[in-house]
A and B are shown apart, each in its own frame.
Chain A
Amino acid sequence: MKNISTRIKKIVREILEEKGLKCEHLREDQVLYESGLGLDSMDTAALSAALEQEFGNDPFMAGKFPKTISDIIEFYAVDLKK
């Protein structure tokens, strides 16, 4: 689980860095959008594509809309249990 969390945080961090934002310590309960980490629609599209590339599937494509990093971790954790 820790490994999944690290990989997801790395992806989110890269997307933030593309926007010119530095975020050393990402919390799993941080909201991804607006007043949280501020991801807009293009950032979210990039997040979806990057998750798919990393894990082979992604929550957005599966019809979920994760609000936090925890939600994404949860999606893959459930996936792993299957």
Chain B
Amino acid sequence: MRRLAYCVAVLALAARADAQPAAPVLQPPRPLTEPRIELPTYVESPPAGSAVDLLLDIDAEGAVVAVTVGTSLREDIDLLAMDAARLLRFEPARQGGEAIPSRVRLRLEVTSAAPVPTPVPVSVPVPDQATTSPASPTPPVPDDGEPPYETVVRGAIVPPEPGASSRVVLTGAELTTVPGTFGEPLRVVATLPGVVRSPFGLGYFLVRGASFENTGFLVDGFPVPILYHFFAGPAVISSRLVEHLDFYPGGYPVAYGRFSAGLISLRTAPPPTRQLHLEAEVDLFRAGALAVVPVGERTTVAVAARRSYYDVLLPLVIDDVDVAYADYQIRADHELTRRLRASAFVFASEDTLDVSQATGTGTTVSTETTSIGYAFVRGIGTLAWDLGDDATLVASGMLGRDWTSFRDREPGQADFGAEITGTYVGGRAELRIPAERDLALAIGVDVASTSYDLDSSFPSPLGLGEFPRPGFDPQPIDIHSSVRQLAGAVYVEPTLRAGPVELVPGLRLDLLKYGEVSSVFPDPRGVVRVTATDDVLFKASTGLFTQPPNPLQLDESLGSPDLQPQRSWQSSTGAEILLPDSIELQPTVFYSRMFQLPRFSGDFEVRGGEVVAREIFVADGEGRAYGFEMLLRRKVEAGLYGWISYTLARSERFLEGGQAQPFAFDQTHTLNVAASYLWGRWRFGGRFTLASGRPTPRIVGAVFDADADRYDPERTGLNFRLPTYHQLDVRIDREFDLGPIRCSAFLDVINVYYAKNAEGRLYQYDYRRSTPLPGVPILPTIGIKGELR
């Protein structure tokens, strides 16, 4: 086995130091052991002179308690270096003779790329007094006396969130290399427990038996309207700006609200770098670029952009269909002081779809067109104060704007269209205080204002004296209205510890003001954890979650301004078990009861004894969901990660009379097995999905509507299921260098053995016969990315 020698040099020392000139002398930490890194034969040598920077947290005993990557060299090399760094022992830093914790930047430089027959001892130029003398370069000590450091998270240890009963954190390679997810962090969520398949693998999530609109998407704490571009496109934010992803299948903390099921939260950050960083990527459907520019010592600016080229490829296959999307992100991070950081993040997205089709025959031919457009922009500004003693204060604000347009023109029929403009203003502030060892406290506020302006001509529900017309030829109803929604919440979350027991009782008070509703909705929640052993923790939670209606449901003329918010009471209990080899096991049992679920009524009603009109939305639905989840997971370590997630669940909605009926997306069993292994500069991964079929109506006949010239099916309820779904996806990544450019190419194949899964049934016009509606076929995607070092 080859062995490569590395020259180890300690570049900079960071240690607690007293800013006063007369303070006790600081002695930096000193390595006691020599790092030895053995590269397996299949590992390609990096270029000589390249280096990886690590940040090591050293305790007062001299042991390395945490290692993070400052400047990456290459993922496989980074991992080997981190493994080696963890084994280092130091003479701890001392101040006034007393051993203190410290943080060290460690640079590992490649001094030889040639294989050597025998290991070369690594010499460590131990920093001596010369490094602390005034003549020697020392790291600048800021005014507040705190040492300089960069916090870089890559495969990081993310601190627990006391108020979250269930949370899965994805970082690093887990975000971008899971097969079948196109390198999109958000799609990885679909493989986690509690999440059932969405039809055609589209990018929306059905979590713990709730509907897809009940799971919220947050970016840096603020909701965003969509996560994916049209036509199963990528996420609207570059994966390179995603620091980590938190998935709460339920029981999320009181710091968040206004969604009645789960949350998917993205935390963004620029890629860690201390020098200009350029990346570009190209695959079958899109191209993108990223630039990260450090400005001085304390500022980083990152710019990313991405655009599809469906408009170039689709005409080769199909005429008269134009699809395009683009997204842009700009982020600036600035360290005002060692304790105060600021960031500004602006991101925007745009999607368009235009379809035109010649129609008519004989002597008269015309064109029907459909156009859909959606664009949004968000700006988030954040200030984060480190108040000392682990207390933090974070304040952030968000401004946003949405534009939605829809237009449908068919000859001989009424034109339909809508122009919807939305404006969003939000703000958050949270103070976290670890007041005592056994008591911590988080308090915060969360305000949001949403306004929609709607200018539209919609298909109108049938009125009295009106008949359905043959084909689809509804009559228009013009709606010009504005809808305003205000929300303001305060929350408090104490954390109480008594021995192995941790209790987190939280309360969120949400004032919701919209339409004819103006009320405070309390959401009490609680989590209890009991640490049985170092490796076993038991937990339980319960809580209430409130979600206001979609603003479009509140329109005065064709909505229901008095629609009450939907609510759910969620409870769960489970365990977190740490097994050998960094494997975690998390079994959970959950139960959720849903109230005031909105439904489209359409029944006529008499208002005030004088007007007959349609009742559009009613919030009188109820439902429940219960089940068992299991996650067996190995986090990224030594290039290998993987998990097995299994969900056994039932989701039901109650009909009039109290009878329970399976929810339309209920799936009894959902199994996902995902694994990925780094072997040298290759990464190989696979993902297998097995899921029960969704309920589908059992149609026993049909009735001919002689006015509409169509058949109306006769149903007997949702007591028939689609066949079991199964699919295997594989992915191969390969890294290679082109001079100064580090490249990565991938091949991602969805449904590699072409399972002919049915996503539904297509019925004949009279419902006498049907045929399966096929799902996604085998779908390969290739791409390449380059990163300028």
Q: Does B bind A?
A: no
